[in-house]
Amino acid sequence: MIIDGKKIASELREELKQEVLKLREKYNKVPGLTVILIGDMAPSQIYVRNKEKSAIEVGLKSEVLRYKETIDEKIILDKIKELNKDDDVSGILVQLPLPKHINKQKVIETILPSKDVDGFHPMNVGNLSSGYESSIPCTPLGCYLLIKKIEPNLNGKKAVIVGRSNLNGKPMTQLLLKENCTVTITHSKTKNLKAECLEADIIVAAVGIPELVKGDWVKKDAIIIDVGINKTNKGIVGDVAFKEVSKVAKALTPVPGGVGPMTIACLLKNTVECFKRSQK
């Protein structure tokens, strides 16, 4: 079974749209998302355009602030502080990667944790790992929702995460632990990755190596989530060898059309959640 991330994301956006209508009625106001985009890297431009389009589609107030590559760090930090105080802004996202002269950690820590729709602020990272309420990074949240759609009861399942990034691998681990999975985190230096993967009921591949996970690495009936987006001379491929794995796995996300659309839908979800928490 191919997991239709496009369709599931579209359903989530529709639910959010209805929720935003209700919030508008209740508070006479809609959640607002402000995205800061620095420089003109093509992938970031595309992501941000998609985010803006989807935000408007579900009825959010959407704003994109564009800065040139050479902008001073201080101007960005001051702008974030201004947005932190702005009641019309529920969520702030600074598109990564940043130019080298801008300190990513400083930028992330300047965003108010309650407006951190990426869930990257150390306060949100800590809250997630402690099991407290927090913003959850959009990509792992999207993966989690896809997994739950296929298998609502994850009790005791063995999950193998390939990749240990702050963006994906680590928060993914927290989400699956909360669902009582037994989670193994692996990465590019793991000794016998194939043997680890062969144990898994669920594999989340987020390591950035084209088609790393092969058909004979996968247990029959496993759920496979492919977070990879790798440019190769064959075009864009994931971290999973799609054709081989699709013959073995119970369910598998395609690239594109799997995790990608869910990431954006989850950003909108996080914006709505931040708004709701701010009204409490």
* Residue 48 in contact with ligand GUN, rule: CB under 6 A: no
Binding flag, residue 95, ligand GUN (CB under 6 A): yes
Selected range binding ligand GUN among 19-27, 89-97, 99-107, 211-219, rule: CB under 6 A = 89-97
- Distance from first CA to last CA of the chain, Å, rounded? 41
Per rule CB under 6 A, is residue 138 in the interface with ligand GUN? yes
Among 48, 64, 77, 96, binds ligand GUN (CB under 6 A): 96
**Pairwise CA distance, residues 43 & 70, whole Å:** 18
Cα 222 off chain centre by: 22
With CB atoms as reference, the residue minimizing the distance to ligand GUN is 96
Looking only at residues 177 through 236 of this chain, which bind ligand GUN when binding is defined by CB under 6 A? none
What token pair was written down for 176?
Answer: 């699956």
Minimum CB separation of residue 76 from ligand GUN in Å reads 13
Q: Tell me if residue 279 is catalytic.
A: no
In angstroms, give the least distance from the CB of 41 to ligand GUN. 10
List the structure tokens of 256.
């594109």
Residue 36 is a binding residue for ligand GUN (CB under 6 A)? no
Q: Is 118 one of the annotated active-site residues of the chain?
A: yes
User: Can you read off the two tokens belonging to residue 225?
Assistant: 């989530």
Length of the chain in terms of residues written: 280
| Half-sphere exposure of residue 275: CA atoms within 13 angstroms, side-chain side | 26
Could you identify the residue written with the tokens 């409490």? 280
Q: If DSSP codes are grouped into helix, strand and coil, which group holds residue 68?
A: coil
**Shortest distance, CB of residue 73 to ligand GUN, whole angstroms?**
16
Tell me which residues are annotated as active site.
51, 95, 118
